[in-house]
Each structure stands twice: as C-alpha cells, then as structure tokens.
Amino acid sequence: MSVVARVQRASKVVAPMASKALGVSSARSFTGTAPAQNKVTVVGAAGGIGQPMSLLMKLGGKIDHLSLFDIVNTPGVAADISHCNSKGKVTGHKGAEEMATALDGADVVVIPAGVPRKPGMTRDDLFNTNASIVKGIAEQCAKSCPNACFLIISNPVNSTVPIFADVLKANGVYNPQKLMGVTTLDVCRAKTFVAENQGMDVDKVGVTVIGGHAGTTIMPLLSQVEGANFSEEDIKALTHRIQFGGDEVVQAKDGAGSATLSMAHAGAYFADKVLDGLNGVEGVKECTFVDCDLTDAPFFASPCTLGKDGVSKVHGFSGLSAFEQALVDDNVSALVKMAQKGSDFVKNN
C-alpha cells in the first residue's frame, strides 16, 4: 500500500483543519513560477551534528530562512553562520520559551537534538534521555508547524520516529507522508565502503539500504549494486561494517564524540532532497524510514520518491539474495519491538 493510501486510511487521526491547511500551503508555495519560500528549522542546532549540518545547509543556498534552535548557544551559532556569503537569512533561538518562534511556519524541521553515543553505548542506550527530548519537540511541532516535513535524526531512530508519530496522532495532525527517519548516513557509508572495496568511483556508486537505523536492522542490498563483483566474504564484511560504522567512529574518537560530521553531511544532503521534492523537482528518490506496509514493522526504510507533499511513493524492495532475505527475516521482529517501545513511552509519559 502506498503512503498516499495510508494517509487516506489514517483520515480518522488527521484533523480536517490539517488537510485543509495542506491544500492552502501547496497552493501558496507552488502556484505559477514564483520561487518557493522555504523556512527550515534545525532543532539541536548548537550540537555536534547541528552546527556543521546548519553550516552545510546555509551553504547549499536553497533556504530562504534557516531557523536555528537549541537550549543554549544558538544565537552565537546563528551569527557565525549568517556571515557566510550564501542565500538565506539565519536566526538563532534558545531556551524552551523560544522554541515556538523557531518552529513557527517551518516547511521542514530537521531534528538532531539529543545526547550522543559514547564508547560502549548502543543507540538503544540513548533511549530514555532522547525519547523525552523528542516527545517534547514533537508536542511543540504539533502546535507550531503541524504541516511541516519532520526529519528525525535523534537516536534511536527506530524508536524516536514512532514516538514522533504517536505525539502527532494524539494532537490530530499526523501525516505519514511528512514524517521521515533520516537513514541517509547508512547509504553514505555503504557507497563509501563499496567504492573502496571495488575500486569504483564513489560518485557513481548506488546502494539501496533498507530496514532501520541500528545495528543489524541496517540492511544494505549489495547484491543489487551495478557493476560490483563481491565475494561471499566481501558481502559479510561490508554488511557488518555498514551496520556498525557508527561504532567505528565512536571508538576512533576514543570517548570524544560520535559520528557528527558524517551525520551532518547526510542530514544536510537529505534535507536538500526533501526541499527539492517540495519545490517541484521530479524524480527525487532517496532511502528513508517511513510509515509503510512493506513488512510487519510499522516503520521501515526503503527507496521513496520525495514530492510536493513529502513522501509521494514508497517503492519497497524485491529480488533479494538469500543472505539479504535472511537479514530481513531476522530483523523485522526487532523493528516491531523498537517501534512498540517508542509507542509505550508516549502512552506512559
């Protein structure tokens, strides 16, 4: 079933005013030849991911208003980035009392807020702290910018995306087309590692990564990489490295941080593609973690077409090798449990 169909099926949880507002927004932004006026808000903009990601987004030149929010330090980050000679104004907002202003009228909200991983920690270890942070952000988003596209980076994505969804549902403004877990870093790593292994031009390597965004739930479809010739050993080693690439960075930084710069690149890249879709660019296709019926898991990453209303089509996957099918069979139940953990948190808090 397509995401569009799921929106229709979910009509009981989408407030009539939200549907009406979507129509108004679409007409306002995409009528005639007038340039789109995009406001993008970064929540967690003063952190290790937020700062470099905000810089990359400013340098991209596609954003009319880059609104930066964090608990502290954001005005300084905004002032610094605003001096870059590229299109778009930058504003900085700090403290809970300024979150509404930062979010008001946003077309896209990118959320890297939360605590980073440290050596020995899994993404799931971050759950209790980051779940509370994400829930609070979702509650304010439901009030200030219910029609925005929400791009979730805060880990563990397999649980924080369901948390965000359930908060939006509780407020009557859930649109599954506009909620996306950012799994782009898994794709970036897959392309990089495959290019190294095969001696290929990384700019010409395409790798589909399905599933989730934690450990073995990250499932690269290496059997479908055009022009590659992998041994069985290559497949196993590359799959494991793609799945646990975050650990590689955490260990290399020796307690000083996690994958912030590569995640900043991935987040800025994906936000750029979402903006392309919103602004009418055709054929934008990226992997992302979305509400879909591809498996028994309520959320699952696969290639999606990004359009004027967010995710316009979930393409799914097919033609898996026996190794890849085994990964799917082994990990769907884990994704179900992680999603349920997020939903249970919303119910109990």
**235 has binding-site annotation:** no
**263 has binding-site annotation:** yes
DSSP state letters, 5-33: HHHHHGGGTB-HHHHHHHHHHHHHHHSTT
**96 has binding-site annotation:** no
**154 has binding-site annotation:** yes
What tokens were used for 335? 């994704």
**125 has binding-site annotation:** no
Rounded to whole angstroms, how far apart are CA atoms 204 and 185?
17
**48 has binding-site annotation:** yes
**46 has binding-site annotation:** yes
**123 has binding-site annotation:** yes
- Count CB neighbours of 156 within 10 A: 27
**130 has binding-site annotation:** yes
**60 has binding-site annotation:** no
Pairing of strands 299-307, 285-291: antiparallel
Rounded to whole angstroms, how far apart are CA atoms 275 and 71?
26
Which has the closest alpha carbon to 155: 291, 272, 260? 260
Strand ranges (E), the chain: 39-43, 65-70, 89-94, 108-111, 149-152, 179-181, 209-211, 218-220, 285-291, 299-307, 310-314
**155 has binding-site annotation:** yes
Rounded to whole angstroms, how far apart are CA atoms 113 and 44?
4
**100 has binding-site annotation:** no
Which position among 65, 213, 240, 265 bears the catalytic label? 213
Rounded to whole angstroms, how far apart are CA atoms 67 and 44?
11
**45 has binding-site annotation:** yes
**80 has binding-site annotation:** no
Residue partners of 328: CB distance under 8 A and separation at least 6: 210, 211, 219, 295, 320
213 is catalytic: yes
Answer whether 156's CB lies under 8 Å from 338's CB: yes
Q: Write out the catalytic residue numbers.
A: 213
Which amino acids are annotated as binding site for NAD(+), given as ranges? 44-50, 70, 130, 153-155, 263
Which amino acids are annotated as binding site, given as ranges? 44-50, 70, 117, 123, 130, 153-155, 189, 263
Which amino acids are annotated as binding site for substrate, given as ranges? 117, 123, 155, 189
